């Protein structure tokens, strides 16, 4: 059912029906919702898209969401999925019962493009409730914005042998990725009630969320659930752990908790563990242990980059890019500039020669530049090339605009630094937001226009915007958003990017797209 006049609904529900009432209500298949308004945008939060993954549903594929009688309050975010506390994020309530989503819509009577956000956090932390991801400003551009929670860490990516016997007809291991697919299925079925077009859905995400976008592009289970994709700092050419490697780690986890092997008793003991115990064990993992989407044969059948190279990904328009100083992420993932130089091995002299075409670099700066190109810029370019080869348009960007208040005090745009320009200033530190200059706000307007134009038509270009051309392997073109303006650049860092691009193709046995 569509949104009904606020006054009528409020009167019917016995709510305040004054002219300034903030409560708005609508009904979906699961039941009635009472949301709020924010700056003219209708907001509905904490809508369960799947059953609570607790008890016997821990480490199971997401099950259908609950229905309810009466009116469900949808005026605040639900609990976030269990995760370690981090200094840079607010301490929000956590609960295994966390599979909920949020919707911002400018008009529940319309048929608008839909943008579904996937948060980052290394598949260990993150939530849709972070203030940064407030969808109001994007929704003002005439789109419906959706965000959701997905399971993280050991609770989201866990492939213990006992699980296959417990639910033999389900996929196993990639529970967090299955949550993402379940959220998209919910959107397909329900978003029309919020004024969204279920046949015009764009997925977009950053960091682990950008990786998730690429994973969903490659997943056979996600095809048909979205029509466009944006991967912000989503890597692209990194290896995915195998199901076997994940099973070995999960079996070791079980052994540490007196639940080895694949018997029912072992699984029961695992499901009886407290979240505190699981997070404590997870914190002891060696830094080399990857807790993330794995190649399981069903949700992911091969490395996403290989699926792209073979043309076996979703054939949809695509945006991918990175920031000018992604190396700010290095410490958080236990990497150093020196480790990047060591990884180059005997090829380091050749690599150094390419990077020092315009002058010598310190080892620290060389390692940081290699990190940004190898993990981020090369993947954005490569996957975009493969999309173009498949017959769809792809657009590559490099975000290098430093806010006026920060200029001179930071070196480039760090990992995640583009988010305030995509979502706007509502969710960032008010002290920083208050310092935004007209130039800063112009870049925000530009980024939001590119992103929402793309969601509407598959083409980010529009009136008043610098032209953003599609890219290709033969003639790579990148939209460079920098302090001196926004412009298309031919062959942006082509020689540096091709070092990692070529090494990946050699490792995987792929051929260039041209």
Q: Which of 25, 100, 128, 207 is catalytic?
A: 207
User: What region does 187 belong to: left with phi over 0, alpha with psi -120 to 50, or beta?
Assistant: alpha
C-beta separation of 98 from 78 below 8 A: yes
Strand partners, 71: 32
DSSP reduced 3-state for 344: helix
Secondary structure (H, E, C), 194-245: HCEEEEEEEEEEECHHHHHHHHHHHCHHHCCCCCEEEEECCCCCCCCCEHHH
Distant-in-sequence, close-in-space partners of 20: CB < 8 Å, separation ≥ 6: none
Distant-in-sequence, close-in-space partners of 196: CB < 8 Å, separation ≥ 6: 103, 105, 111, 112, 113, 114, 144, 146, 187
Q: Are strands 31-38 and 71-73 parallel, antiparallel or unpaired?
A: parallel
Secondary structure (H, E, C), 163-200: HHHHCCCCCCEEHHHHHHHHHHHHHHHHHHHHCEEEEE
Listed residue (248, 406, 247, 417) closest to 325, CA to CA? 417
**Angle at CA of residue 98, ends 133 and 188, nearest 5°:** 70
Examine the residue annotation and report whether 67 is marked as an active-site residue of this protein. Answer: no
Q: What is the dihedral of CA 321, 153, 187, 227, to 10 degrees?
A: 30
How many C-beta atoms surround the C-beta of residue 289 within 10 A?
13
C-beta separation of 404 from 433 below 8 A: no
Q: Which of 127, 233, 415, 418 is catalytic?
A: 415
Residue 356, CA distances (Å) to 365, 374, 375, 400, 503 in order: 11, 16, 19, 20, 19
Examine the residue annotation and report whether 252 is marked as an active-site residue of this protein. Answer: no
Listed residue (72, 75, 71, 92) closest to 83, CA to CA? 92
Residue 147, CA distances (Å) to 3, 77, 90, 96, 104 in order: 20, 11, 18, 18, 9
C-beta separation of 391 from 314 below 8 A: no
Distant-in-sequence, close-in-space partners of 475: CB < 8 Å, separation ≥ 6: 490, 491
Tokens of 482: 């920098």
Examine the residue annotation and report whether 287 is marked as an active-site residue of this protein. Answer: no
Q: Which of 303, 326, 392, 418 is catalytic?
A: 326
Report the residue count for the chain: 514
Q: Which residues are catalytic?
A: 207, 326, 415
């Amino acid at each position: 059912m569509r949104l009904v006049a606020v006054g009528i609904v409020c009167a019917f529900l016995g709510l305040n029906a004054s002219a300034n009432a903030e409560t708005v209500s609508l009904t979906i298949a699961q039941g009635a919702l009472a949301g709020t308004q924010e700056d003219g945008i209708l907001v509905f939060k904490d809508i369960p898209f799947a059953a609570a993954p607790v008890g016997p549903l821990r480490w199971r594929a997401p099950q259908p969401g609950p229905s309810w009688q009466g009116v469900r309050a949808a005026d605040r975010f639900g609990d976030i999925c269990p995760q370690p506390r981090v200094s840079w994020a607010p301490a929000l309530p956590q609960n295994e019962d966390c599979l909920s989503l949020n919707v911002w819509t400018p008009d529940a009577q319309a048929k608008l493009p839909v943008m579904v956000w996937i948060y980052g956090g290394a598949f260990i932390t993150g939530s849709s409730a972070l203030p940064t991801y407030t969808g109001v400003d994007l929704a003002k551009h005439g789109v419906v914005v959706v965000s959701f929670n997905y399971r993280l860490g050991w609770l989201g990516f866990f492939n213990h042998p006992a699980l296959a016997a417990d639910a033999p007809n389900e996929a196993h291991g990639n529970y967090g990725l299955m949550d993402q697919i379940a959220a998209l299925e919910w959107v397909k079925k329900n978003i029309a009630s919020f004024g969204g077009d279920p046949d015009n859905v764009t997925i977009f995400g950053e960091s682990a969320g950008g990786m998730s976008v690429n994973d969903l592009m490659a997943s056979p289970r996600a095809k048909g659930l979205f029509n466009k994709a944006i991967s912000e700092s989503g890597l692209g050419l990194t290896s995915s752990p195998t199901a076997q490697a994940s099973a070995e780690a999960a079996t070791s986890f079980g052994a540490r908790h007196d639940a080895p092997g694949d018997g029912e008793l072992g699984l029961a003991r695992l499901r009886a563990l407290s979240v505190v115990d699981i997070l404590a064990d997870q914190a002891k993992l060696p830094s080399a242990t990857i807790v993330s989407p794995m190649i399981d044969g069903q949700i992911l059948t091969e490395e996403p980059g290989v699926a792209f190279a073979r043309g076996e990904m979703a054939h949809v328009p695509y945006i991918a890019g990175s920031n000018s100083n992604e190396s700010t992420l290095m410490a958080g993932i236990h990497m150093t500039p020196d480790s990047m130089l060591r990884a180059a091995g005997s090829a380091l002299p050749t690599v150094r020669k390419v990077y020092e075409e315009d002058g010598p670099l310190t080892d620290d700066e060389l390692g940081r530049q290699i990190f940004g190109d190898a993990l981020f810029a090369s993947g954005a370019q490569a996957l975009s090339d493969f999309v173009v080869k498949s017959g769809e348009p792809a657009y590559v960007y490099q975000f290098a605009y430093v806010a006026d208040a920060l200029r001179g005090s930071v070196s480039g745009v760090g990992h995640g630094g583009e988010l305030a320009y995509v979502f706007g200033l509502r969710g960032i530190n008010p002290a920083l937001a208050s310092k935004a200059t007209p130039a800063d706000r112009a870049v925000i307007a530009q980024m939001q226009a590119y992103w929402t134009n793309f969601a509407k038509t598959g083409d980010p270009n529009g009136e008043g915007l610098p032209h953003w051309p599609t890219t290709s392997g033969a003639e790579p073109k990148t939209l460079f958003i920098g302090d001196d303006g926004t412009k298309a650049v031919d062959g942006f860092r082509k020689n540096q990017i091709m070092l990692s691009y070529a090494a990946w193709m050699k490792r995987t046995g792929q051929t260039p797209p041209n």
